[in-house]
Amino acid sequence: MTEREKTDVLHTRNNPLSACEIPAVEHTMHGSRPSRPQGPGVGGFSDASTVWRVVTDRPDRADDPWRRRWTWDRRFLPRWLLVGHTGTPQFPDEDAVALCADIDGVFVDLPPRSRERFTLVGCVPDGALASVLNGRPSDTTWLGDLWLSAGPDDPVTRRGWIGEQLLDVTVLDHRPSQTPGRIDIVVEGLVDVHDRTDGVARPDGVTGFVLSDPDDAPCGVCADVTGLFREPAEPPVPHVTLVGCRPEPPLLAAIAAAHETTKAGLRRRRVSADVGAVAADGSAVPVVTGAVSGTLLSSVPSRLGAGLLDVTIASDPREPRPAGTRDILDLWFTGRPGTRDLWAPYDRTLRHEWVGVALAHHRLTPDQPAGSVFHLAGRFVTDVEGFYCAIGEAINGPGGYFGGNLGALDDCLSGTWGAAAPFRLVWHNSAVARQHLVPRYGRHRHAPAVTLDTLLEMLTAHGIEVDLR
C-alpha cells in the first residue's frame, strides 16, 4: 500500500467534512481489505466533480430553492435557508423549509474527544503488538492504529462485516487471562467513528477477533474486546433553534402537528434539512455537512418581528459544525473575498472549513490554458490544510478551491477546476512546507500525515512542473 492510499483511507474517514453527507463516496483501500462503508457524515472532497454535481449542479427545476434569490421585507437580511423536507415521505422532495435571520445549535465548538480504554480479552499477540509487549519498560508502548475483524471463514465475514478500527492505540497493561496461555491486554485510544455520537454494533455470532494493522500485517487474535461496542450517544447539542424564522409550507405542516404525540404526529413533526448560507444578494449555497435533523418541539413568536417565529427542534445525534465556520461564511456574504491568505490565522480545523466554504462557492469557469504559470504563496503552509487553501488561491484567486484532500486534488488536476495540465507551479517559501509536512502520525486526523513529498509526487504525476523557491 502506498503512502497516499494509507493516507486517503485514514485521513478521510476522520475528516469533519463529509463526503457521505454530501453525498460523495471515497473509494479507498485497506490493503486487501474491502472498502469500508462510510457512516453518516466524512470523506472530505474525495471526488471534486462528484461533490460539485451533488452540492451545486442540482437538477433543473423551476422551483429549485438553491437557484432562487431569497429576500423579505425586513430591516435586516435573511441569513440562513433550510432546504429539505418534513415528515417521513418515502420519496422526499428537496423544498425550501424555512428562511431564518439566525440559527442556534448548528455551529458549536465541542471539546476534543476523550480517549477511551479497551480490553483485548483472551489475546495471543503477534507482530507489532507482541513487540510492544516484549519491549523494555522504557520503550514506547504506542502501537498506532489497530483493526479488529473476524476470520475469513467466520459467518459474520461472509455477511459483509469488515471490522472496526481503534485509532492512536497505546498499550497500558497486560495480565494473564482466564484462558490458559492467553493474556488480557488493556489499551487506550479512540474508536474510529465518523461522528462521536455514532453507535458501534456488535455483529451477531462473532466468535473472536483477528487483530491487524492498517496494512493488514497480523497483530494476533483475541476472544473478545470490551469497551468497543456501544449504543448511539445523546446529541452533544440537544436543540437547534431557528431564530426569526419565516416558515415555508413544509415547516408549517410540522408546526401544525406540534402538539401531536401519536406515532403519526411525531412523524409529521420530523424535520430534515440542509443548511444554506444566504448572501447579501439573496443567493444561497449549502453549508457542507451543515444540517438540521430532528423533531419539532415548539414555535413561538420571535422578538425579531411580527410574522416571524422562533422554532425549536430536538436534534438527532450528530456533531455540530465548528463555531468559527460562521465567521468564514461571513467573509463571503457580499461575494468572494478579494484578499488572499485570509485563512492564514485559522487553525487546522478552520482551515479545513475554509476549503469547504470555498468549494460551496466555486463556480465552473474555463480552465486557464495548458502551460500557464501559477504562484503558490507558501508562507503559511504549516499543515496540509494550509496547502489546500494556498493552492486553491494560486489557481483560482482569493477564496479559490482546488482540492480538499488527496483524492480531490487528483480530481482537480485532471481538469475543469481552473487549470489545464501541464502547467508550472511556482511554490514560494517552500521551506515552510518542507519543515512542517513531514512523515509522522498526524493526531489531528488520526492518520499518517500527508507529506510534501507526497504532494510533489502527485503534482509531478500530472505533468505539473513545480518550482520550489
Q: Are residues 292 and 189 in the same domain?
A: no
Within a domain: 104: yes
Q: Are residues 414 and 303 in the same domain?
A: no
Q: Are residues 294 and 336 in the same domain?
A: no
CA 239 from centre of chain: 21
| Nearest alpha-carbon partner for 285 in 21, 17, 55 | 55
Within a domain: 317: yes
Among 279, 306, 321, give the residue marking a domain's end: 321
Within a domain: 243: yes
For residue 152, list its beta bridge partners. none
Q: How far apart are CA 143 and CA 187, in angstroms?
A: 9
Q: Are residues 408 and 260 in the same domain?
A: no
Res 152: pLDDT: 85
Structurally, how many domains does the chain consist of? 3
Within a domain: 38: no
Res 153: pLDDT: 84
Scored b (16 or more CB within 10 A) or e, 57-88 reads eeeeeeeebbeeebeeeeeeebbbbbbbbbbe
Q: Are residues 298 and 333 in the same domain?
A: no
Q: Are residues 334 and 446 in the same domain?
A: yes
Res 207: pLDDT: 87
Within a domain: 206: yes
Q: Are residues 194 and 278 in the same domain?
A: no
Q: Which residues of the chain have pLDDT under 50?
A: 1-59
| Nearest alpha-carbon partner for 33 in 218, 203, 188 | 218
Return phi, psi of residue 134, to 5°.
Answer: -90, 0
Within a domain: 204: yes
Q: Are residues 100 and 122 in the same domain?
A: no
Res 60: pLDDT: 56
Res 168: pLDDT: 95
3-state DSSP call for residue 75? coil
Which grid coordinates are listed for 230? 456501544
Burial of 320 (0-12, 13-18, 19+ CB in 10 A): buried
Among 179, 203, 226, give the residue marking a domain's end: 226
3-state DSSP call for residue 197? coil
Within a domain: 31: no
What does the DSSP 8-state code read for residue 68? S
Among 321, 341, 370, give the residue marking a domain's end: 321
Q: Are residues 167 and 308 in the same domain?
A: no
For residue 40, list its beta bridge partners. none
Q: Are residues 365 and 459 in the same domain?
A: yes
Which CATH number do you get for residue 405? 3.30.370.10
Within a domain: 286: yes
**Containing domain of residue 163, as a range?**
116-226
Q: Are residues 349 and 401 in the same domain?
A: yes
Res 50: pLDDT: 35
Res 21: pLDDT: 29
Which CATH number do you get for residue 68? 2.30.110
Q: Are residues 454 and 353 in the same domain?
A: yes
Cis peptide bond upstream of 23, omega within 30: yes
